[in-house]
Structure 1
């Protein structure tokens, strides 16, 4: 997918997304419902996004701010194509890569080497492109010694480093990060943050979710506060974070 610089990187209009929440009933409750001739309703609906609209221009670095369950990660999954919206419209302009779930797309029975090719292909890289970048990916991950070991034997830190290394070398137009910059040891966190800043300097669009506001301030110029699946505030990152903290302090 090529990028059109005259169009927004992401344009969401009145997005809606809901999920079914299923609840188990006891055997006694089930028998009573059936005896009364009632059909069991074992689910209700949770509206993760409701009428969310936001426009993000190419090259912007945007932090999504909000409590857990506010809809931030759901929005990122829609942008990445992992999910589809139930309502509204979403236009994404360019190649999307990044980390929403650590190691998503990795197969535990394959080696690190094989998973680099598998995950790279999932993220839209050709074999030739992966061949060219393979040594840099492995060097960035710092797991050269284990690259031919099955990843089911990796520690969580090794898994993270390899997943992040593949993602940051896909040359994305839009890079999304969900709570990943605060995971791993401190040297790798600094290295990862440095690479993210490089992507920003190269004009890539960044969408970041992190509860570490000190990190967010160094990466993002703009904040979008999402609450109950809607945009509550959108503006300069310091103003959005201050408003969010004030609201949380007020209870």
Structure 2
């Protein structure tokens, strides 16, 4: 069997409800039990699973159950407090994709900067630049500062750039919810194309239709715990049963 694309073991991450709270110096050297505070909670705990190259995984759960946190851990945006995440190969993170763009830079400058930061060579950027702009439907806005774009334009630009990355793993977190229907379908067609090329997909969505379109396996998270890992149909059936009462 080939090396897993993603391996998660005993994963846990802890947050604080009161963002203004701070740990003092003695807390840093105390044991876990001493460091715990009433306003702290585990966003994820004891989560373990393995994803093989080419699999399409749908993450299911209500809001606030750890789905987006899990994607950020896989993307390396967050670091776990317990356990570990191993990712073999780069990721194309379609999560909060408008982050990282610079408001005062133009569309042209942002494309070159963002693609370069993700490891795309200058030659590749030049080769793909026109296609990125055409996909984002921003031909008339190339020299417009990013901060003057509408939210829909920003999402289109970000998706157009990130989906051009030659990374083997796609992380998608309902980033297209603000896009119009026509552009969303165009993005989904691009995702279909990338999956046809053998990419691995990690997909968070509240849309059962979208999950069934892209995924054949599901992870069901509830209160930060992995309730079920199995065929998508079985995971959706369990989720619907738990929340139809």
TM-score norm. by structure 1 comes to: 0.87
CA apart distance, 1:229: 1.5
- Aligned pairs (5 A) from 1:220-235: 220-235=215-230
Distance 2:149 2:46 in 1: 41
CA apart distance, 1:102: 3.3
CA apart distance, 1:23: 6.7
Distance 1:43 1:167 in 2: 39
Distance 2:19 2:38 in 1: 6
1:84-120 deviations in whole A, cap 9, x for unaligned? 1111011101110122113111011111111111211
1:144-170 deviations in whole A, cap 9, x for unaligned? 110210011101110000000001001
The answer on whether the counterparts of 1:181 and 1:193 sit within 8 Å (CA) in structure 2 is no
Is 1:94 matched up with 2:104?
no
Structure 2 equivalent of residue 39 of structure 1: none
The answer on whether the counterparts of 1:22 and 1:43 sit within 8 Å (CA) in structure 2 is no
1:61-80 deviations in whole A, cap 9, x for unaligned? 11100011111111111111
Structure 1 equivalent of residue 150 of structure 2: 155
Work out which of the residue numbers 88, 110, 125 in structure 1 matches 2:120: 125
Q: Summarize the Cα distance change of 1:159–1:18 in structure 2 as closer, same or farther, 3 Å threshold.
A: same
The answer on whether the counterparts of 2:155 and 2:176 sit within 8 Å (CA) in structure 1 is no
Distance 2:104 2:54 in 1: 38
RMSD of Structure 2 on Structure 1 (CA):
1.8
Is 1:10 matched up with 2:6?
yes
Distance 1:10 1:23 in 2: 30
Structure 2 equivalent of residue 169 of structure 1: 164
Structure 2 equivalent of residue 36 of structure 1: none
Unaligned runs of 5+ in 2: 22-36
Unaligned runs of 5+ in 1: 26-41
Is 1:64 matched up with 2:59?
yes
Is 1:103 matched up with 2:98?
yes
Structure 2 equivalent of residue 20 of structure 1: 16
TM-score norm. by structure 2 comes to: 0.89
Distance 1:210 1:108 in 2: 28
Equivalent position SS for 1:241: helix
The answer on whether the counterparts of 1:105 and 1:118 sit within 8 Å (CA) in structure 2 is no
Q: Summarize the Cα distance change of 1:221–1:112 in structure 2 as closer, same or farther, 3 Å threshold.
A: same
The answer on whether the counterparts of 1:181 and 1:210 sit within 8 Å (CA) in structure 2 is no
Q: Summarize the Cα distance change of 1:101–1:149 in structure 2 as closer, same or farther, 3 Å threshold.
A: same
CA apart distance, 1:21: 2.3
Distance 2:176 2:195 in 1: 15
